[in-house]
Amino acid sequence: STITYIDGDRGILEYRGYPIEQLAENSTYLETAYLVIHGHLPNEAEMAEWVHNITYHTFVHEDIRKFIDGFRYDAHPMGVVMSSVAALSTFYPESRRVLDAGIRDLQTWRLIAKLPTLAAYAYRNLRGLPYVYPDNDLSFVGNFLSMLWKMGEMKYEPDPVIEKAVDVLFILHADHEQNASANAMRCVGSAQADPYMATAAAIGALAGPLHGGANEAVIRMLEEIGNIENVPAFIEGVRRGERLLMGFGHRVYKNYDPRALILKQACYDVLGQLGKKDPLLDIAIELEQIALNDAYFVDRKLYPNVDFYSGIIYKALGIPVDMFTVYFAIGRMPGWISQWLEYQADPEARITRPRQVFMGATPRPYQSVEKR
């Protein structure tokens, strides 16, 4: 793959050669999405066309709203979003022509544009609120926040600090090499299934608590600890193998997750803007300080990862825990698409078919039930 480079030992993450720190500070989510998918940063004309094409496709068919209305009031938002994305395949049957470059471009714009709308509808359905149509005068992130939170006001005006924090979250989630959901996207795409079906599969993988649901587990852990005075006892339980320290350690990073460093500052920015003193943040900081200075955790390379702070930001914004992974999915969409496109463009690509090592029973004769 030519998309994302990770050096886990040194804590390096790059999209198409650009360090994640520089992109988080200077870029926007849509610009980063263009980079991840096209391989280079856009010039002014390319960026204007890219933003126009995505903005044009933010609305979804009215029947999708009826589809979402059919879910139970307590349906998990990831199930709603996964099903809705798969349903888009029936609205755009031409998407099955995956070998047509023009068709692939059109589905790329649609997927990036429509996922925030579907996510916001899932959120409003969860809260029993009326749906809000896209406002294409706003930025990509501002429009998403409007669809989430607009109530009776004529025009929703996003808070710039919060808008920037969500934009950074999306950038940090844009791609992350060959993780479970990227692998699912490529595997299903290898069968030349349309990109909506492949994306639904990727969303299904992301929904698992060992992948995208990890930041939910962080919040539940912090709430279980409850108070900063309870941290030492919790840490002792971790040492004894009785408790799990969620949001620490990573399959790839054997150093500090570079995304966590960026999100730690974003977390302070959001809490400061909202005027909140979240006790969960105090617990999180205490856990971090102990983990970074305790030989037990240092020797095991258990450093904070991206899930550790992202969950706190989402909670501070008033996002239900069940919605955390939906935010992750919006950010990850460019990565999924780029993984899918890369596989489709490979002239040697074949349908994924892992080889199996059979370890079952040797041949044996069938016996009738009365002789078993």
Known catalytic residues? 211, 250, 307
Which of 162, 202, 159, 207 shows the shortest CA–CA distance to 183? 202
Under 8 Å between Cβ of 330 and 119: yes
* Distance of alpha carbon 236 from alpha carbon 269, whole angstroms: 31
For 340, other C-beta atoms within 10 Å of its C-beta total 27
**Sign of the C-alpha dihedral, residues 362, 365, 367, 372?**
negative
* Distance of alpha carbon 169 from alpha carbon 306, whole angstroms: 9
Report the run of H or E that residue 4 belongs to, with start and end.
strand 4-7
Strands (E) across 248-347 are located at: none
Own/partner contacts of 14-22, CB < 8 Å, gap of 24 or more, are 15/174, 15/175, 16/40, 20/171, 20/172, 20/258, 20/259, 20/262, 21/258, 21/261, 21/262
Output DSSP code: residue 248: B
